Structure formats: structure tokens, C-alpha cells
A and B are shown apart, each in its own frame.
Chain A
Amino acid sequence: MDSFKNVTSIVTPLDKVNVDTDQIVPKQFLKLIQKSGFGKFLFFDWRYDENENKKPDFVLNDSKYDGSKILVTGDNFGCGSSREHAVWALLDYGFSVIIAPSFADIFFSNCFKNGILPISLDEKTVEKLQQETRPIEVDLEKQTIKTLSEEISFEIDPHKKKILLEGLDDIAQTLQYEDEITEFEKNSKIPSVL
């Protein structure tokens, strides 16, 4: 995983609550066996009509948000299905920061495995950021979001921050605990399935 770099970008406002992962990537695109190329399926049913023409009223189809790396959205973002394809689609499309009042647990966890920074802020601040038309700067090291008029600080678990900043390979870290895992297995009373 690449390490997380500071992001300066205009924001894409997606003014919806309870956006589920079925909307982020509809089921017909879950059949691919690789991780790449999901960006074109992001919010597919909201972006395209039945003839796959762009729906002009959907925010991602507004050219003024082209190249945006920051999605600002509503409460409980990423609820529903555990599909990591949702995170791969956001990343492949170009988003590396998602700001919302709250996130669903599995989605939140999946973000950190792929180098996306999800930031929880109170509803009022999120609404204000949705109105922001000028670029904002997200600095993970300092845990700040800078707009032209103010600096907003955000909370992040120190361990998760480290993972993003260093782009750590989770599995390589874990395998350093080989002795502990083996010791646990020796004492486990739960038998094999087979």
C-alpha cells in the first residue's frame, strides 16, 4: 500500500445520508477478480441512466468537480454490504479522503487497508465543507483541514494514522507475531473443521 500524502483538492459534495455500498458499487460489478478498474463503476446507478448516458443532475457528472480527491457526504456512509469493491472504486476514481459525520464499521476498516483516509466531523462542519468551493488541504500528520478561512482539526486513532502514513503491509506486521499465534493454537480447544 502506498503511504498517504497530504491532499489539496476541491471537495465533491454528496448530500445524502445512509449511502450504502450497494450504491457505491452495484452488484453487477462485483464479478471481477482483480482490484483495479472499479472507478468507472462508482455510483453507477446514480451516474448513468438505463442507456448508460450520464445523468446531468448527479454531482460526479458536473465537470467542475473533475479531479476532486475529497468526498464530503452524510451520516452512516458505507453501510450495508462488506464489499471492499466500494473502497477500490472510490480510490480508483481518485478519492483519497472521505469526510462524513459517521461511517459504517466495515467500510471504515476497509478504507485503512487501501490508503483512504475517512474523517468523522460533526454535522455542522460537514455541511459547511460541502458548501466550500475553493480547494481545501487535508494534512494527516497535523490532523488538520485547512480552508481559505479556517483550520479544522480532526481526530484519528494513532495506530490507524501510522498505518496510513507509513503505508504498512498489515500481514507482514502480523507475521512477526508467529510465536504468539503458534502458542495460542497450542492451547486452543477448538478442533479443526475437517
Chain B
Amino acid sequence: MGKTLFEKIWESHVVVEKQNEPSLIYVDRHLIHEVTSPQAFDGLRLNNRKVRRPDLTIATMDHNVPTNDRSLPILDQTSAIQIKTLEKNCKDFGIKLFDINSPNQGIVHVIGPQLGITLPGTTIVCGDSHTSTHGAFGALALGIGTSDVEHVLASQTLWLEKPTPFEIRVEGKRKDPHAVTAKDIVLSIIKHIGTGGGTGTVIEYRGEGITDLTMEQRMTICNMSIEAGARAGLIAPDDKTYDYLRGREYTPKNYESLVDSWRDNLKTDSDAKFEKQFVLHIDDIAPQVSWGTNPGMTCDVTDSIPSPDEFSKGDSNQKKGAEKALAYMDLKPGTAIEDIKIDRVFIGSCTNARLEDLIEASKVIKGQKISPHVRAMVVPGSQMVKKQAEEMGLDKIFIDANFEWREAGCSMCLGMNPDILSPGERCASTSNRNFEGRQGTGGRTHLVSPVMAAAAAIKGHFVDVRKMDLS
């Protein structure tokens, strides 16, 4: 019987295999940031261990770095200590660090691909659940906890139970690809399969709706695999993948010979078997807006807030969850999504802060001003994205519309730095999680695409971006 792409990558990385036990899997790339690594380095010191392969390990600082003027000192002392600790750990253990002043600094899942560190067919881990992003390149990319970060630092391997392969086919063509985006595709998937729908699996996204996407759009899809509970998500590499990585700063010297072998090997065989399958038809999908406190609580922009009964389909626990979510979000069933007013707009995060995201959002706002009661910010995913956007004049478009134009980092996706919502504030956000308090205690998050966030900034409430001129 044939094999899936995931199984091929898995098998080519098994170091030790035992019956009915986890396998020891080799890690090709280990990405590190300031929040989930300090305790791992402490563990190494305590046991007098070294980093086995500093040459396969790359660090940056993204989660709690301020996104205002970088020449100013970091006011939050605990953040400053965490950042200094990463600097010291990288120095002590010989790890390459893109620090706050590096032109390569940025969100770890934005810089990996941008620098050519992310490669097809590899295993990539990071102490961050959105590591699934790198799966867009046909890599097996897993988010791990801090104990596993320490384990990889010490041994360059991980004990893993083999997840099962899950095929998600995305069929058809979007009618208006500028208004209905990759974010809307992945939110639709999570809306259907739920936040636990992918538990224990590695999703392979397939079909015309996926191969049509650019690499940056594919990253948005794979990024949110974890929001469906999946261990990872991936997409088979093709010419778009190979072209994207060619000639980047850390792309390997023998890249072309690697590409030749990837072309032959990195695909799911026609007779391979998936344990689980789901099909999404995208010809008629609408822009999506989340209304609740997990990413599965999402509906079309043309819909109204569902009643807990309608949402839960008879499941009493889900009903309770929906009631609680609506209370937290201060929303009532039957309210049209387009009637929901917003206070804040956040365009950023490892889901949607790449150059294409900023280009698309800028088309919506060009020549307009944001609604007077809205505060809006753009936080580019990396310093390189910021520079490229500035070279195109996108910063001017945003600033002229009264957006704040920031330095790179995770920022208000998780509010570890000073960029947070105040209690009760409602935000149209291009990030990945609408959990209670995620963007600030008491803050209310609605997940949307960059163009939907930009449109909401202009109008002051959600609006179907398909009605706007994006030419």
C-alpha cells in the first residue's frame, strides 16, 4: 500500500523504533524564542549537558518584544529579563540569535521560511503551537512544550507517538480571491470540524483550493491546524514551494540537488490511505468572522450570531460553552455580524502579518481614513516584511489612514508586550485565537482576514469586504 507524505517524512526521521512505544524522531531544525526556552536551558545547566547541534538551532525574540521605538529601553522588567536571558543562553550554548536589533528579527514562524531555514521534507520543532505554519513547505512541523525543548537541545531528537494522517480536501475556486482569503478557508474548516476535530492527527491539505494558493496563503492555512487540535498540518511541495525558498539567506548551497530528490519523494502516493477525511467546497464561501471564544465559533459575515441551541446541535456541554462565550463577548443571538461595532483593529501575528497580507489590507484602506472611534495597528511579522512593505510605500497608506505602523513581533496576538486590549474592548484581529482574555484581560476578539480587518477599521463595524472595491 502507498504512503502519505506525512508517513514518508516520519519514516525518514525514525532513529529508534520499538513495538507499541513512541519512536525516537530526529529533528532537522529547532527554532527557539524567549518565552518557552529559559527553563530548558536551566535544565541543561543543572545536568551539565550541552546543546548537541547548535548548527541546527536558531533563536529569535518575538513574544514579548515591544513594537514601538526600538531605540527605547524595555520598560517591563520581567520582559527585559526574559530577553536578556535568551541572549545569555544563546551566547553560552553557541546558538545563532536574531536579536531585537537584527534585520532578521521577527515572529519565529515568519522568519523561518523567509530566511530559507524552513525546508521541505524536514522535521521542524519549536516551543510554540503555531509551528504548524512551516508545514506549508511540506515539512513535519510540531509545536512542543519546554521539557521537549530541553530534550531536543540535548539530543536533537524527540520521542513521539505516531499521529494518524487526516486528509482535508479543499475543492473548487473562490469567486473573489481578494475578498475571500486563505484565512476564510481555514476558519471554515475549523467551524466544520471543531477545535478538537484534528486531535491526534497530522492534516494534509490537498486539492485545487490549496494548490491555487501562494506560499504565504498556504502558511496561513497550516498555521491554524493547531486550532483544529491537529499535531501538525502540511501541504505537498510544488514549484511554488521550491521557487519561494530559492536564493534566500540560509537556503542550503546544495539546494537544487535537494529539490531534485524532493520532487521525486515528497508526495502522497495515489493508493495511500488516510484515517480520516473532510472535504470543503469553496466556490461559494463567504468571508468568516468568529463570534465566540474559540476559533470553531465562527460564522459567515452575512450571518447573524447563532443561538446556543442552534450552535450546539443538541450537545448540552457545547450549549453551555456557547452561552458562556456569548456572555463573555457581550453578544446576543440574532444580531447581524455586520451590526457589530468594533473599537480596535489588529493586523499582525504569525497567521496574517506577511507581505501579501499587508498588500491586500492596504488595497482596502488606500485613500481612506479609519473610523474615528477605532484604534488600529499594523504589526509586520518580521523586520524584513516591514522593510519590504516600506519600500512599496505601504506604511504611508496605513499611516495616512490613521493606522499605527509598528516594529515586528507577536504583539497583540497574545498580549505579552504592552500591546493589549482594555477590558470590554472589541477587536477585529487577524490573529489565530479568540480565547477569553487572549489579547488582554476582558478583551473581546473576533478573528478575521486582513482585508476584513481593514474594512472593519474603515467602517467601524464588520462589513462584507466583497462589497468594497479592491481593484
The answer to whether A191 and B36 touch across the interface, beta carbons within 8 angstroms, is no
Residues of A within 8 A of B119 (CB): 190
Known contacts A82-B36, A104-B229, A105-B199: A113-B252 contact under CB 8 Å: no
Size category, A interface? 35 or more
- Whether, in the assembled complex, A150 has its beta carbon less than 8 Å from a beta carbon of chain B, the answer is no
The answer to whether A28 and B39 touch across the interface, beta carbons within 8 angstroms, is no
Q: Which of B134-167 contact A (CB under 8 A)?
A: 143-148, 150-151, 154-157, 159, 161, 163
The answer to whether A87 and B26 touch across the interface, beta carbons within 8 angstroms, is no
Q: How many A-B residue pairs have CB under 8 A?
A: 191
Bound Cα distance from A75 to B195, whole angstroms: 10
Bound Cα distance from A35 to B320, whole angstroms: 34
Residues of A within 8 A of B231 (CB): 105
- Whether, in the assembled complex, A148 has its beta carbon less than 8 Å from a beta carbon of chain B, the answer is no
State the Cβ distance, B74 to closest chain A Cβ, in Å: 11
Residues of B within 8 A of A110 (CB): 145, 147
User: Which single residue of chain B is at the shortest CB-CB distance from A23?
Assistant: B436
The answer to whether A34 and B117 touch across the interface, beta carbons within 8 angstroms, is no
State the Cβ distance, A47 to closest chain B Cβ, in Å: 12
The answer to whether A34 and B22 touch across the interface, beta carbons within 8 angstroms, is no
State the Cβ distance, A77 to closest chain B Cβ, in Å: 10
The answer to whether A82 and B143 touch across the interface, beta carbons within 8 angstroms, is yes
Q: Which of B431-450 contact A (CB under 8 A)?
A: 433, 435-438, 441-442
State the Cβ distance, A94 to closest chain B Cβ, in Å: 20
Residues of B within 8 A of A35 (CB): 39, 42, 146
Pick out which of these stretches binds chain B: A62-70, A137-145, A177-185. Answer: A177-185
The answer to whether A104 and B20 touch across the interface, beta carbons within 8 angstroms, is no
- Whether, in the assembled complex, B82 has its beta carbon less than 8 Å from a beta carbon of chain A, the answer is yes
- Whether, in the assembled complex, B196 has its beta carbon less than 8 Å from a beta carbon of chain A, the answer is yes
Q: Which of B109-140 contact A (CB under 8 A)?
A: 117, 119, 121-122, 127-129
Residue among A84, A104, A177 making CB contact with B147, cutoff 8 Å: A84
Per-position binary interface string of chain B over residues 243-258, scored 1 when its CB falls under 8 Å from any chain A CB and 0 otherwise? 0000000101110001
Known contacts A17-B321, A26-B441, A181-B26: A81-B129 contact under CB 8 Å: yes
State the Cβ distance, B129 to closest chain A Cβ, in Å: 4
- Whether, in the assembled complex, B337 has its beta carbon less than 8 Å from a beta carbon of chain A, the answer is no
Residue among A18, A50, A192 making CB contact with B55, cutoff 8 Å: A192
- Whether, in the assembled complex, B8 has its beta carbon less than 8 Å from a beta carbon of chain A, the answer is no
- Whether, in the assembled complex, B200 has its beta carbon less than 8 Å from a beta carbon of chain A, the answer is yes
The answer to whether A84 and B250 touch across the interface, beta carbons within 8 angstroms, is no
The answer to whether B55 and A30 touch across the interface, beta carbons within 8 angstroms, is no
Residues of A within 8 A of B441 (CB): 26, 28, 45, 50
- Whether, in the assembled complex, B415 has its beta carbon less than 8 Å from a beta carbon of chain A, the answer is yes
User: Which single residue of chain B is at the shortest CB-CB distance from A45?
Assistant: B437
Size category, B interface? 35 or more
Per-position binary interface string of chain B over residues 1-44, scored 1 when its CB falls under 8 Å from any chain A CB and 0 otherwise? 00000000000000110001110101011000001101100110
User: Which single residue of chain B is at the shortest CB-CB distance from A114?
Assistant: B147
By secondary structure, the A interface counts as loop
The answer to whether A170 and B159 touch across the interface, beta carbons within 8 angstroms, is yes
The answer to whether B436 and A22 touch across the interface, beta carbons within 8 angstroms, is yes
Per-position binary interface string of chain A over residues 148-159, scored 1 when its CB falls under 8 Å from any chain B CB and 0 otherwise? 000000000111
- Whether, in the assembled complex, B213 has its beta carbon less than 8 Å from a beta carbon of chain A, the answer is no
Q: Which of A52-74 contact B (CB under 8 A)?
A: 74
Residues of A within 8 A of B196 (CB): 18, 75-76, 79, 102, 104
The answer to whether A50 and B423 touch across the interface, beta carbons within 8 angstroms, is yes
Residues of B within 8 A of A5 (CB): none
- Whether, in the assembled complex, A40 has its beta carbon less than 8 Å from a beta carbon of chain B, the answer is no
Residue among A32, A76, A83, A104 making CB contact with B78, cutoff 8 Å: A32
Residue among A23, A74, A171, A180 making CB contact with B435, cutoff 8 Å: A23
Residues of B within 8 A of A184 (CB): 15, 26
State the Cβ distance, B213 to closest chain A Cβ, in Å: 25
User: Which single residue of chain B is at the shortest CB-CB distance from A35?
Assistant: B39
Q: Which of B242-287 contact A (CB under 8 A)?
A: 250, 252-254, 258, 261
State the Cβ distance, A178 to closest chain B Cβ, in Å: 9
Known contacts A104-B199, A170-B147: A16-B437 contact under CB 8 Å: no
The answer to whether A27 and B416 touch across the interface, beta carbons within 8 angstroms, is yes
Bound Cα distance from A43 to B136, whole angstroms: 34
User: Which single residue of chain A is at the shortest CB-CB distance from B131?
Assistant: A82
For the complex with contacts A23-B437, A45-B436, 11 further pairs of A-B residues with Cβ separation under 8 Å are A18-B195, A20-B294, A50-B442, A104-B196, A106-B129, A170-B147, A170-B151, A171-B47, A171-B150, A171-B155, A190-B28
Tell me the A residues contacting B by CB distance below 8 Å. 15-18, 20, 22-23, 26-28, 30-35, 45, 50, 74-76, 79-85, 87, 102, 104-106, 109-110, 113-114, 123, 157-159, 170-171, 174-175, 177, 180-181, 184-185, 188-194
A-B contact pairs, 6 of them (CB 8 A): A22-B438, A31-B416, A75-B317, A84-B147, A171-B43, A191-B254
Tell me the B residues contacting A by CB distance below 8 Å. 15-16, 20-22, 24, 26, 28-29, 35-36, 38-39, 42-43, 47, 49, 52-53, 55-58, 63-64, 76, 78-79, 81-82, 85, 96, 117, 119, 121-122, 127-129, 143-148, 150-151, 154-157, 159, 161, 163, 195-196, 199-200, 226-227, 229, 231, 250, 252-254, 258, 261, 294, 317-318, 320-321, 324, 414-416, 423, 433, 435-438, 441-442
